[in-house]
Every structure is written in C-alpha cells, then in structure tokens.
Chains A and B, each alone.
Chain A
Amino acid sequence: MKVFISYGAAADQVTALRLQALGVVNGLTVYVPPAHTRQGVEVLLDPESAQKLSEAEVVLGVVGAGLAEACRQELNAAMALRKNMIIMSYPAFAYQLQQYFTNLVVIDPANPDEAEVGIVGRLKAINAQQNAKKALLALGTLALGLLLFASVDRD
C-alpha cells in the first residue's frame, strides 16, 4: 500500500521520517516530501510530490511545528483527489486547519486520550477499504505517540 505523509513544517519532517521508517518495515511504501519543499514560499505543488500524492492510497497529515504552504497544498490536493486522509495537528494549528478539513484530529499533549478517540471517529467516517483503514489507524496511532514525544522534546 502506498502512503503519502504531508508534514506541516521542516521541523515536522523528523516525525514524518520516523513514521516512514516504521511503515516501510511493516510493508508499506511511504513517501515523505523532501525538506526543500518546506523552505521558501512554494507557489505550485512540487511535481514529484504531486505524482506521489496521486499514486497514494492513504494520506496522513502531521502538523506540529508549523503549516507551510506546500503542506496546505498537498492536503488540499489530497482532498480534491478524495484520498483516504487523516490530519493530525497540535492545537495551535487546529483553527487554521478546521476551516478547510473535516478529517482533523487535534493532539493536545495535556489530554492525549481525546486524540485516540478522534482517530477512531475519523476512521468510521471514512469510506475506505479495510486495509486502508488499518494503515491509517496504525500510522495515526504511531503519529500520536511521536507527536507526544516531540512535544516533550520541545519543552
């Protein structure tokens, strides 16, 4: 199964790369856009990212440190392509994302159990095949753990 991980800012790439490594050893093909796509203001979606996005069956958004234009474009494109998608974000970016995306799971490090419930809730709303749901559940749960660790790292 092909997975696309869209991360909010360059500092979030480390979480995306960790998810990629875990996904790959579990048989997933995971694409993480290169860091240069998060530096400067990208006007258009990076062609390679656009290609990988169109091929992906599952899209996971990880927004912890910022929301770069490239990430916003990737998430918009994923929505337009009707990809099976969950976006996980810290509360600081929830307002920005909630305006455009319904499949958002907010991770409040002080109250992480709500995020777990949120992942399950979003999955119920997605009309996807069982293996896509399983991949999103696994990656979403791992992302939750990694983002919680990252929040401790930043404190």
Chain B
Amino acid sequence: MVLCTVPFQVTARNIAKVLGLPDYPFLSVQHPIGSCTLPELKARAEIAYRQALPILLQG
C-alpha cells in the first residue's frame, strides 16, 4: 500500500504507468506530512486506513 499526499498523486500515477501498472491504487491524504502535528497525522491515518480496506480486500 503506497500512501501519498494529494500533490504527488499525479507523480505516483505516472511512475506506476511507466512501470506497467497504470491502474495501481494509492492512498491519498492531505499535504503536507513533514510539518504535521500528531493529531494531524492521526487524522490522515484514519483516512488512509479507510481507503486501504477495499484495496486490500478487493484488489
């Protein structure tokens, strides 16, 4: 499972396409990460977790 922030979605999709997986699903959270407080990280983690469940179970 690859987690990336919104501005990097386009980058992640491009690399996945070049590597032969154009439909590879990513977890998408709000930018940034580096300057976040712990509560902000926890909020992003909750969103990422919910996105991850269907990807893991349904591909």
Verify that A and B bind, or say they do not: no
